[in-house]
């Protein structure tokens, strides 16, 4: 890994086109001058009109921005996808088994495979979940696995995202926009559909309804409200599933059951896909000053009268410090070798590793253990000397607050830049649903770093998205 | 799927705010035209102030501006974020409500609302002085029509539709009553007579504010007369901005709710009370009682419909 020239997904080193990209390459060659620029402008107009926006925290002007969309799709071959999806399925099964174990008998700790301290003293460990029996034993129902590619056959998992992964609405809208913009390109390729996601989400949620729910369980999407950065997605998913979009104030608990306030009085709710963080979910159990949650909802959950999706406390399995143990976790619960690679991760609390990290910081990536969204991280090779020094000081001050990884040479994809096509670094977030079965939508969200040479793909840091195609055989 | 009380509330107010934005534009247009045709010195300012009085915005205006001229009044009614009834504030509130109920409105409605807000929020107040003002006022009316068109053309005829429609026509009734009441505040010059040229000219502008100056002729085949004009805007069931038309419209939608939900609520009684004001009366009785008093009673009764509706359907 980490060769100097990053792997390009469209072109071989000799300049020839890789097989999955053949139709795209021909199509690009046929586009008239300014054709891509026009398409780009159309795409922007479509997204703004539909109100597909996200909020950038801390940005002064306009609270809503349109996430940049690149009109050139990213393409994954059928055999590549089969390998990836097998690896993903293995991972999410093992992580759910791990969560069940951690909140019950803690065999993996007793076996000494993971240090007890790392789990029990971890802020992401949720003692209130101990002994609770979630429907079907599933904790993480909705997962977005962050994957990067560094070679023809080399994929690495960066993060498992078992809390409330966002971005799935972009996956769906990107496809919608792409079909509007380039129907002729679709005609030349066999692209696996992604439109089934909302229905699969609904089936997954229904499959984990509490035992007492009727044949058509009532499903609600719980949102922090219209000022949340992902509000568009919350309303989009509720709409697509035909579920009720609720804020905390719309729900209340009575006699251990959850109801919503409707125009004709209270109505029972069975499954809640909540997009509110654990801490804010229930002021009676977690943060007492939370205005976003529903008082008493955790007790209703404990009593088995409602299902929360994802379960509280799943963060312990995607904690950046626990991440390094995932291969171990897979082996422990499934007796299998991990199919997908973990990125080697240096532990700064270890004196020797820390010394090495501080010496080589210019080559490394530093991430805050509890950071997300590209905030609080540093990519060594693209940072200044001053930033290196700043992060060195931070690591020395709080070694347990950071993990350090080698800088991966993320693969590049052709991307439309100023009416030209140039390679830009990409990652991939496939979306996984776990209920009565594991359902993985072919493809996922490709995020692209639009700045030349940049490896940070987060939308809050100038990243865009691409439609992601998995070709069918 | 049953509807959240908050969703019903958002739908009701979404429609109200769109209608209010349209009526702010109508009201301002009348004030603007009156000020252009005023024959006395200082008359322009007086007309604008009486318009603000009718809209119950005169005090808020006086706190912020010393002089009432077309520029200051237009800014206050169109663009001032501190004025909760300015077109700016109405469109913003309408869009916020629409965003909260994205799942309960259609894509066409959302796009219309979102587009109106995005365009309006780009406009710089200093670019629409003078002649351009009328163009913008017309634009506001048209965007309101577009939203209503999207609503009528695409939404299911269920409880959500009833709340949207009720909000629209509760607001319209309120605005028509206020536009009519403006005449009460517009003082006639001492030398003029009731029924004289200036008096009639003012009534004409009120008709215009209701987009009713052409249709008036089709109904009355007569010169503009105060009695007819008030009759047209209060009691004529074929006039889509008249008080009685709006009241009937709201009643029909409340009845739809009663049918869908299988029972009548307190708001249905409040509605009956409001209807008693406009049914079984005539303009002679209204003028004898006093037009201003009648309009006040109507506005109060109309507010009671909103209050009881909010309680009946668990708005919060």
pLDDT digits (tens, 9 = 90+) for A215-256: 899 999 999 998 888 888 999 999 899 999 999 999 999 999
What is the arithmetic mean of pLDDT over B102-118? Answer: 90
Considering only CB atoms, B1 lies closest to which of A50, A235, A242, namely A242
Tokens (6 digits) for A382: 């693209």
Domain ranges of chain A: 344-407
Confidence at residue A4, expressed as pLDDT on a 0 to 100 scale: 62
Rounded to the nearest 5 degrees, what angle is found at the Cα of A447, between the Cα atoms of A441 and A452? 155
The DSSP annotation for A141-195 comes to -EEE-EEEEEETTEEEEEE---S----HHHHHHHHHHHHHH-HHHHHTS-BPP-T
Which residues on chain A are in Cβ contact (under 8 Å) with B259?
A: none
Q: How confident is the model at residue A61 (pLDDT cuts 50, 70, 90)?
A: very low
Tokens (6 digits) for B182: 């403006």
Q: What are phi and psi of A433, to 5 degrees?
A: -120, 135
| Residue A127 pLDDT exceeds 90 | yes
Which residues on chain A are in Cβ contact (under 8 Å) with B156?
A: none
Which residues on chain B are in Cβ contact (under 8 Å) with A232?
A: 102
Considering only CB atoms, A264 lies closest to which of B102, B118, B261, namely B261
Which residues on chain B are in Cβ contact (under 8 Å) with A49?
A: 111, 114-115
Per the CB < 8 A criterion, the answer to whether A461 and A116 are in contact is no
Test mutation, B102, B160, B267, chain A, max A CBs within 10 A: B102
What is the arithmetic mean of pLDDT over A284-295? Answer: 89
Q: How confident is the model at residue A57 (pLDDT cuts 50, 70, 90)?
A: very low
Which segment, A31-35, A295-299, B211-215, is predicted with the most confidence on average?
Answer: A295-299
Q: How confident is the model at residue B132 (pLDDT cuts 50, 70, 90)?
A: confident
CATH number, domain A344-407, options 3.30.1490.270, 3.50.50.60, 3.40.50.300, 3.40.50.720: 3.30.1490.270
Confidence at residue A3, expressed as pLDDT on a 0 to 100 scale: 45
**Nearest 10 degrees: Cα torsion A28, A30, A36, A39:** -110
* Tally of structural domains, chain B: 1
Report how far residue A458's alpha carbon sits from residue A372's, in angstroms, rounded to the nearest whole number.
9
Which residues on chain A are in Cβ contact (under 8 Å) with B8?
A: 263
Confidence at residue A62, expressed as pLDDT on a 0 to 100 scale: 44
Q: ipTM, 2 decimals?
A: 0.81
Domain span holding position B111? 5-312
Please provide the distance, in angstroms rounded to a whole number, between the alpha carbons at the two ends of chain A. Answer: 29
Q: How confident is the model at residue B40 (pLDDT cuts 50, 70, 90)?
A: low
B2/A226 Cβ within 8 A: no
Test mutation, A45, A46, A49, A51, chain B, max B CBs within 10 A: A51
What is the arithmetic mean of pLDDT over A297-318? Answer: 96
A263/B8 Cβ within 8 A: yes
Confidence at residue A288, expressed as pLDDT on a 0 to 100 scale: 87
A50/B313 Cβ within 8 A: no
| Residue B205 pLDDT exceeds 90 | no
DSSP state of B106: -
**What percentage of chain B carries pLDDT values higher than 70?**
94
Confidence at residue B186, expressed as pLDDT on a 0 to 100 scale: 66
Confidence at residue B53, expressed as pLDDT on a 0 to 100 scale: 83
| Residue B227 pLDDT exceeds 70 | yes
Confidence at residue B39, expressed as pLDDT on a 0 to 100 scale: 54
Which residues on chain A are in Cβ contact (under 8 Å) with B2?
A: 262-264, 267
Q: Report chain A's mean pLDDT, rounded to a whole number.
A: 91
pTM for the whole structure: 0.86
Considering only CB atoms, A49 lies closest to which of B115, B159, B261, namely B115
What is the arithmetic mean of pLDDT over B270-293? Answer: 93
Confidence at residue A60, expressed as pLDDT on a 0 to 100 scale: 37
pLDDT digits (tens, 9 = 90+) for A69-115: 999 999 999 999 999 999 999 999 999 999 999 999 999 999 999 99
């Amino acid at each position: 890994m980490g060769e100097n020239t990053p792997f390009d997904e469209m072109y071989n080193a000799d300049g020839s086109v890789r097989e999955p990209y053949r139709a795209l390459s021909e199509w690009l060659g046929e586009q008239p001058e300014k054709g891509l620029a026009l398409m780009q402008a159309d795409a922007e107009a479509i997204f703004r009109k539909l109100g597909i926006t996200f909020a950038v925290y801390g940005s002064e002007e306009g609270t809503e921005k349109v996430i940049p969309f690149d009109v050139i799709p990213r393409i994954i071959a059928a055999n590549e996808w089969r390998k990836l999806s097998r690896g993903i399925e293995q991972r999410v099964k093992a992580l759910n088994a791990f969560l069940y174990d951690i909140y019950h008998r803690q065999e993996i700790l007793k076996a000494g495979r993971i240090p007890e301290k790392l789990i029990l003293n971890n802020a992401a460990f949720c003692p209130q979940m101990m002994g609770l029996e979630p429907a079907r034993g599933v904790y993480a129902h909705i997962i977005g696995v962050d994957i990067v590619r560094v070679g023809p056959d080399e994929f690495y998992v960066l993060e498992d995202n078992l809390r409330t992964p966002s971005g799935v609405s972009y996956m769906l809208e990107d496809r919608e926009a792409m079909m509007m913009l380039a129907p002729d390109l679709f005609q030349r390729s066999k692209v696996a559909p992604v439109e089934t996601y909302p229905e699969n989400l609904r089936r997954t949620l229904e499959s984990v309804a509490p035992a007492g729910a009727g044949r058509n369980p009532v499903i609600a999407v719980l949102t922090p409200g219209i000022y949340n950065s992902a509000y568009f997605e919350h309303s989009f998913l509720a709409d697509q599933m035909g579920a009720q979009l609720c804020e905390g104030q719309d729900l209340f608990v009575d006699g251990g059951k959850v109801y919503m306030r409707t125009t004709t009085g209270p109505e029972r709710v069975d499954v809640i896909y909540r997009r509110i963080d654990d801490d804010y979910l229930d002021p009676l159990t977690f943060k007492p000053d939370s205005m976003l949650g529903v008082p008493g909802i955790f007790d209703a959950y404990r009593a088995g009268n409602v299902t929360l999706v994802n379960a509280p406390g799943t963060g312990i399995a995607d904690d950046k410090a626990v991440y390094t143990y995932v291969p171990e976790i897979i082996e422990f619960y499934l007796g299998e070798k991990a199919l997908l690679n973990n990125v080697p991760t240096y532990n700064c609390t270890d004196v020797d590793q820390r010394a090495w990290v501080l010496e080589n910081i210019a080559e490394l990536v530093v991430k805050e253990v509890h950071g997300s969204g590209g905030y609080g991280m540093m990519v060594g090779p693209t940072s200044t000397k001053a930033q290196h020094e700043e992060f060195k000081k931070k690591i020395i001050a709080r070694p347990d607050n950071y993990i350090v990884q080698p800088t991966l040479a993320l693969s590049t994809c052709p991307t439309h830049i100023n009416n030209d096509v140039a390679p830009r670094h990409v990652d991939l977030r496939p979306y996984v649903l776990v209920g009565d079965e594991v359902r993985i939508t072919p493809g996922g969200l490709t995020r692209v770093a639009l700045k030349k040479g940049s490896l940070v793909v987060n939308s809050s840091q100038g990243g865009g998205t691409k439609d992601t195609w998995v070709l069918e055989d | 799927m049953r509807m959240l009380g908050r969703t019903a509330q958002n739908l009701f107010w979404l429609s109200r705010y769109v209608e209010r934005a349209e009526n702010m534009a109508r009201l301002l247009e009348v004030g603007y035209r009156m000020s252009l045709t005023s024959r006395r010195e200082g008359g322009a300012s007086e007309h604008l102030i009486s318009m603000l009085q009718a809209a119950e915005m005169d005090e808020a205006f006086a706190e912020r501006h010393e002089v009432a001229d077309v520029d200051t009044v237009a800014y206050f009614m169109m663009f001032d974020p501190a004025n909760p009834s300015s077109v700016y504030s109405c469109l913003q509130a309408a869009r916020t409500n629409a965003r909260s109920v994205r799942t309960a409105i259609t894509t066409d409605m959302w796009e219309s609302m979102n587009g109106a807000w995005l365009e309006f929020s780009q406009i710089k107040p200093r670019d629409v002085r003078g002649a351009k003002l009328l163009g913008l006022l017309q634009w506001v009316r048209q965007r309101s029509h577009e939203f209503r068109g999207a609503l009528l053309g695409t939404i299911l005829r269920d409880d959500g539709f009833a709340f949207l429609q009720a909000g629209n026509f509760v607001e319209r009734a309120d605005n028509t009553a206020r536009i009519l009441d403006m005449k009460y505040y517009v003082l006639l010059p001492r030398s003029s007579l009731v029924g004289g040229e200036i008096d009639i000219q003012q009534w004409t502008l009120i008709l215009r504010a209701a987009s009713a100056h052409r249709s008036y002729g089709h109904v009355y085949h007569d010169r503009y007369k105060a009695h007819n004009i008030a009759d047209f805007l209060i009691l004529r069931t074929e006039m889509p901005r008249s008080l009685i038309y709006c009241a009937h419209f709201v009643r029909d939608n409340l009845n739809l709710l009663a049918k869908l939900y299988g029972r009548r609520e307190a708001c249905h009684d409040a509605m009956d009370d409001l209807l008693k004001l406009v049914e079984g009366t005539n303009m002679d009785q209204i003028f004898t009682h006093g037009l201003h008093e009648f309009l006040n009673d109507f506005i109060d009764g109309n507010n009671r419909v909103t209050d009881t509706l909010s309680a009946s359907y668990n708005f919060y």
